[in-house]
Structure 1
Amino acid sequence: MKKTLEILVGLCIVALFAAGGVFGTQYLLSGEGQASQGSGSGDGNGRDPVRVGVTSPELRMIEDDVTAVGTMRPVRAVELVPSASGRVTDVPVGSTEQVEEGQLLIQLDDRAERGALAEAEATLSEAEQDYRRIEELAESNTAAEAQLEEARATFRRAEAAAMQAEADLEDRAITAPFAGTLGVIDTEPGAFLDAGEVVTRLSDLSAVEVEVSLPERYFDRIEQGQTVYVTTPAFEGEIFEGRLSVISPEIDLTSRSFDIRAEIDNPDRRLVGGMFANARVVIDTYEGLAVPDDAIISEGLTSYVYTISDNAAQRTSVEPGASLGSLTEVSGLSGEDRVVVAGWDNLSDGSPVEIDENFAREGLE
């Protein structure tokens, strides 16, 4: 009997402890719920708002372009060579000098040619006098027609000989075919030059051409007159503007590309042939929306931003386009959208937000 009583007392104690645990748990849960309800703002699901900075997409002029590398060259350039062999008697110009069209550059010994021209001119004068005299006699029927034809032929031959002698004399001088800049001249008076020997190079640097190759897919989008921006390591930070002037009419079978040329005005002659050129061809210009780079979130092949609607974050897919410095062109937004630019790393779709204008400025700096 005593043993049975001890068992009943033990069971009562266990029951009391169990009831106390249940009551305590309910009490604690009730207190937390009340504390939560009185703790301030949220989204109804117990989430506190996230502090964010926002901005609106900017309307920008966007250039659809393609870049390529190429080489600069003068708009005109020739190698200067003598047409005849001879000894140099005068070099009145120096290396890299600016010269005018027709200016004497190198003179060869021309004494024999001047003598031949004088003789040819004298012969021509005599032949012309004979021809005119016989022509007058033929008009009065005094001279025979055969005599007139012979005199005319002699005059024509003398005229041709004089022209040849004059050309031979001109070949003893190398002159500038157009205004331009000379290359290096190593020829000195007394040197002997062979016909066809390159003396120097003359370049017209009033304008330069940039030649580049573009992939075949751009062939139907390239037109003469399109703007081309060029940079070169020789003038770091400077941009030279030109216009597309030549388009190759065919595609290279090996590279599947085509050549284009752009002409750039060069009044100060700073750009020269052989310079390396980075060219950017502007194919089209249009208006588009752009957002700061910091607002765009990329995950694999997808990109998105967070926009604000009814004080909540909304994940919005976008398609990035052209880079505009610290901005990037995007499609999928409107100009009225508010885009999160700072604080998005704490957001998820539907998160409540608190907009802070100062935070937005910090995000854009």
Structure 2
Amino acid sequence: MSSRRTPVLALSLAGLAVVAALAWYVNREQSEGLKADRPGLAATVTATGAAAPVRVEAQTVRALALADDVAAVGSLVSNESVVLRPEVSGRIAAIRFRDGQAVERGEVLVELDAAVQRAELQQARANLTLAESNFGRTQDLFARKFVSQSSLDTARAQLEVARAGVALAQARLERMQIRAPFDAVVGIRSVSPGDFVKDGDALINLEDIATLKVDFRLPEQYLDRVRRGQVVEVSSDVLPGERFNAVVDAVDPLVDAQGRAVRLRANLDNPDGRLRPGVFARVRLILAERSGVLVVPEAALVPAPGNVQYVYQVVDDTVRRVDVRTGVRRNAVVEITEGLSAGAVVVTAGQLKLRDGAQVTLADAPSGVALAAD
């Protein structure tokens, strides 16, 4: 029985040896073929077994001047705005302006029919002439002791009444002319010559737009950081891409209890009249200017669990993980308040391939962070 098993065992062992040799040969051929198809694969590992350097992009941390600011929305308001209304009733005799015309202070815009007022003024002047004559004669008679002191006083009083009558008639006549109270641009009228208007009826609006006011609100937590004289950048959809500088002129002492906001007003020069009252405005209030602020591109930051952020800093062709604290963000850059110093080189692209201590090569020479001074 034992003699029969010996040849079978020998044949089995020989078969296993042939199968093992065949498997080794097939694996060798596949490996050689893979290397031929992907010649770069073998290059990823060095002769010592270390990983090849990872190609990354990097930029240099720079110290720049940065402005602390807050954004808000507001409205443009005329520097001066008024709706002209007559003080007395009357019929419009003439309109002395064109719609949208620029007018000067004191210029007559609307005249009401003043025939009655002119007649009253003429009558008052005649009474004044008579009173002056009577007073002159009374003075002469009093000097010659022909009239008493009482007669002289009466004549003097009548003269003063006549003078007041002229002034009153003159004032009534002037009220029939409606004048511009300040340099402005008139609006679009809704009345015509011949219309009868009552006292208080709206005739035309006047807007002083050479200077505009910018009204906006900020949350109450900024109350101790706002003051007169701060610079405000104003932009509007009516002039896309353009910015205008204004200056804070007033801070409302009353905080709105409903919205918990403080109201501010800034003055904006508008000599060309390109902006108009009532326009929606975007406002950027510069609270303070800081110099030496360290900034890096937002792309350099890598988030980690626990609300942690870090960057890969390049040191002698090796990356080192550095946890950082950030500040304000603007224009795709972020302020670094802790963790880095000016001149450090940080990776901005390729972080997914990295680990702490990995070897790297830079795709380009590190460049500085571009940020316009705000």
Deviates more, 1:308-317 or 1:229-238: 308-317
Secondary structure in 2 matching 1:84: coil
Contact 1:41–1:49, Cα closer than 8 Å, also in 2 = no
Secondary structure in 2 matching 1:178: coil
| Change in 2 beyond 3 A, CA 1:138/1:290 | farther
TM-score (norm 2): 0.82
Match of residue 332 from structure 2: 326
Per-residue deviation at 1:274? 0.7
Match of residue 298 from structure 1: 303
Residue 347 of structure 1 pairs with residue 354 of structure 2: yes
Amino acid at match of 1:100: E
Contact 1:247–1:259, Cα closer than 8 Å, also in 2 = yes
Match of residue 294 from structure 2: 289
Count of matched residue positions in the alignment of Structure 1 and Structure 2 = 341
Per-residue deviation at 1:59? 2.1
Residue 153 of structure 1 pairs with residue 185 of structure 2: no
Contact 1:62–1:322, Cα closer than 8 Å, also in 2 = no
Match of residue 35 from structure 1: none
TM-score (norm 1): 0.84
Q: For residues 245 and 48 of structure 1, what CA distance do their matches in structure 2 show?
A: 63
Secondary structure in 1 matching 2:255: coil
Percent of aligned pairs with the same amino acid: 31
Secondary structure in 2 matching 1:189: coil
Secondary structure in 1 matching 2:228: coil
Match of residue 214 from structure 1: 218
| Change in 2 beyond 3 A, CA 1:65/1:142 | farther
Secondary structure in 2 matching 1:156: helix
Match of residue 121 from structure 1: 125
Match of residue 257 from structure 2: 253
Amino acid at match of 1:241: N
Contact 2:184–2:206, Cα closer than 8 Å, also in 1 = yes
Q: For residues 140 and 227 of structure 2, what CA distance do their matches in structure 1 show?
A: 66
Contact 2:313–2:346, Cα closer than 8 Å, also in 1 = yes
| Change in 2 beyond 3 A, CA 1:136/1:308 | farther
Amino acid at match of 1:296: L
Q: Deviations over 1:226-270 (max 9, x none)?
A: 010111111111111110111101211111111001110000111
Q: For residues 171 and 120 of structure 2, what CA distance do their matches in structure 1 show?
A: 11
Contact 1:182–1:200, Cα closer than 8 Å, also in 2 = yes
Match of residue 318 from structure 2: 312
Secondary structure in 2 matching 1:187: coil
Per-residue deviation at 1:298? 2.6
Residue 144 of structure 1 pairs with residue 151 of structure 2: no
Can you give the 5+ residue segments of structure 2 that lack an aligned partner in the other structure? 21-42
Amino acid at match of 1:328: V
Q: CA RMSD in A?
A: 3.1
Residue 87 of structure 1 pairs with residue 91 of structure 2: yes
Contact 2:73–2:280, Cα closer than 8 Å, also in 1 = yes
Alignment match of 1:240 (pick from 240, 244, 247): 244
Per-residue deviation at 1:139? 5.9
Can you give the 5+ residue segments of structure 1 that lack an aligned partner in the other structure? 22-38
| Correspondences of 1:1-365 after superposition (within 5 Å) | 3=2, 46-135=50-139, 138=142, 143-287=147-291, 288-299=293-304, 301-332=307-338, 333-357=340-364
